[in-house]
Amino acid sequence: MSKVSKPLPLFRLPTLLLTKIIRYMDLQEILLISLASKKSGFIMRSLLPRNWFNLKLLFYIKETEIVLGAKGPWAPVRVKYENGGDLFKLQITQRLENVFYQWAGPQLQDPVKLLLTHFATVFNPTISIYFGDICNQEFVMDVLPLLKQLNLSVKVLKFWDAQISPETYKYVLDEYREVSELWLFCKISSDFEYRAGPDFRVDNFRVGEGHWMHLEDFVNCKEVAVYNHHQHKQPKYANLEEPRALIRKWIESECQLELFTVSSFPDKFDFRLVLQGQGLRTIEQTFSSHSVEIIRRSDGKKALVTCKWGFFELKVID
């Protein structure tokens, strides 16, 4: 009779050796070991490199997935979503769809919150989260405060047809004013009002219903795109002083704005009227388009302002 090998007491090995062993594991193996117990989770956290991990969460009816990625040689781990009727499930599987580990709950936010809490404890990933048409107000406001509570760094936050209230819309603008990307493509009431301060510094800010925006408030973003998807009849930028104030603010301040576009489609707002009487040097003028060059006073940087039927653009060119 052959002797049975004793299991390797992995966590009794020296820390330096453990760290080297982990580098040869798959990321899924690391995740599964961390899920064995609270103790194993904290041990794995102490062994893993800091600031190496990212977590992408997509919540759409046709596509819901959660992906843990990392720098270096580790392949990403995908967490499968399953709506089982009575339970919403997030699970880690192998190729034959056998379940290794599963989070479950009567509402989708229940397993999502459990997963986020564990991933924050072990991996401390940066977050990219997409709230789509599967998301309601309750789900969004269960998840977003938890991200703050867990002190997770949100890099990308996008809403596309998610059902949120004006209060939540304002919460997002207040709390996520310095993320890399913020997209708000969800309905908002025609009477919604908001003023952004100089600390609103999103790198890439896109708004599907920008009727509420005072354009000059967002000069400290790098790129801004504003649309009128649901055809609000009186967007703020329909007042000629709004785009004019944006132009003046860029000329007179040291803002980081590089590109600002506004589209009023399908409404035919005539942005060409913005440039009338402003004393700016005309670069090009046609029946449908007017372009002028503006120069910033502080550093001589140049930008091109193009105004058309239904379209306005301020773009830094030098």
Q: What is the pLDDT of residues 206-222, one digit of tens each?
A: 999 999 999 999 999 99
pLDDT digits (tens, 9 = 90+) for 1-55: 455 566 656 666 666 767 776 777 889 988 998 998 898 899 889 889 888 999 9
Under 8 Å between Cβ of 282 and 294: no
The DSSP 8-state label assigned to residue 44 in this structure reads: H
* Burial class of residue 210 in the structure, from the number of CB atoms within 10 Å of its CB (0-12 exposed, 13-18 middle, 19+ buried): buried
> Is residue 92 in some structural domain?
yes
Residues 201 and 317 in one domain: yes
Average pLDDT of 180-186? 96
State the total domains in the chain. Answer: 2
pLDDT of res. 55: 97
Average pLDDT of 273-292? 77
Residues 38 and 110 in one domain: yes
The three-state (H, E, C) secondary structure of 105-157, written as one string:
ECCCHHHHHHHHHHHHHHCCCEEEEEECCCCCHHHHHHHHHHHHHCCCCEEEE
Residues 114 and 254 in one domain: no
Residues 170 and 318 in one domain: yes
Amino acid identity of residue 180, one-letter, is S
Residues 188 and 308 in one domain: yes
Q: Is the pLDDT of residue 130 over 50?
A: yes
To which H or E segment does residue 308 belong?
strand 302-308
Under 8 Å between Cβ of 215 and 259: no
Dihedrals phi, psi of 302, to nearest 5 degrees: -110, 150
- Give the Cα separation of 148 and 113 in Å (integer): 12
Amino acid identity of residue 37, one-letter, is S
Q: Is the pLDDT of residue 96 over 90?
A: no
pLDDT digits (tens, 9 = 90+) for 225-279: 999 876 666 788 888 899 999 999 999 998 999 999 999 877 778 888 888 777 7
Residues 226 and 99 in one domain: no
- Give the Cα separation of 305 and 259 in Å (integer): 10
pLDDT of res. 83: 85
Q: The domain containing residue 220 runs over which residues?
A: 165-318
To which H or E segment does residue 314 belong?
strand 311-316
Residues 49 and 185 in one domain: no
The DSSP 8-state label assigned to residue 317 in this structure reads: -
Say which residue, 2 or 179, is predicted with more confidence. Answer: 179
Under 8 Å between Cβ of 68 and 53: yes
Could you give the dihedral angle defined by the CA atoms of residues 12, 17, 23 and 29, in that order, rounded to the nearest 10 degrees? Answer: -10
pLDDT of res. 1: 46
